[in-house]
Amino acid sequence: MQAFLKLGAITATSPIMAAIQFSKLWEGNEIHLRDYEKGFLPAWGELAVLQEHVWNLMRGVQAVRLGDVLIERIPTGTATKIKGEGLMRHEIVLQAGPGCLMRMGKEGIGPETGDVWAWKVLEAAERINESADDWISLIIELER
């Protein structure tokens, strides 16, 4: 089974990066825009430049429910682990370079800036950043 599905790419990551680069909304390495249980958070309104991408993705994959939405930053030389929760995770890569790797099981892919990926987290997964810069992605959980 193919774990990762590339849905396409966006070409205009610069306006998003400009909006978040010096934002005071960062909580550690994350900016939470929407919580499935709490709904939209203040950052959603402050980062309106992201909304179009979320709605377009929902329409494009014919999602019926929007879950958590967040921006995640993985600093150089670090990794994040993701539990296998059966969620459909969508990732719009805002910044990534050679040395970034998404891996689940034996399958791995190297994302590039602008890529839009979908992957169902069926088992433990990890995202590893061995690139020269932070890896920054918009993470959107959707139910189809």
* DSSP character string of 83-127: -----EEEEEEEE--TTEEEEETTEEE---TTEEEEEE--S-EEE
**Going by C-beta distance under 8 Å and a sequence separation of 6 or more, which residues neighbour residue 15?**
49
In whole angstroms, what is the distance from residue 91 CA to residue 56 CA?
Answer: 13
Identify the band that residue 14 occupies on the pLDDT scale cut at 50, 70 and 90: very high
In whole angstroms, what is the distance from residue 88 CA to residue 102 CA?
Answer: 15
Amino acid identity at 142: L
Per-residue pLDDT at 74? 97
Count: domains in the chain: 1
CA dihedral for 107, 109, 63, 37, sign (positive or negative): positive
Query: What percent of the chain lies above the pLDDT cut of 70?
Result: 97
Q: Which domain range does residue 17 map to?
A: 4-143
Per-residue pLDDT at 86? 65
b/e string for 2-24 if b means 16 or more Cβ within 10 A? ebbeeeeebeebeebeebbeeee
Identify the band that residue 127 occupies on the pLDDT scale cut at 50, 70 and 90: very high
Q: Residues 87, 126: contact at Cβ < 8 Å? A: no
pLDDT digits 0-9 by tens, 27-42: 999 999 999 899 999 9
> CATH number of the domain that 51 lies in?
2.60.120.330
Amino acid identity at 107: E
Identify the band that residue 120 occupies on the pLDDT scale cut at 50, 70 and 90: confident
In whole angstroms, what is the distance from residue 127 CA to residue 44 CA?
Answer: 24
127-135 mean pLDDT = 97
Q: Is 101's pLDDT higher than 90?
A: yes
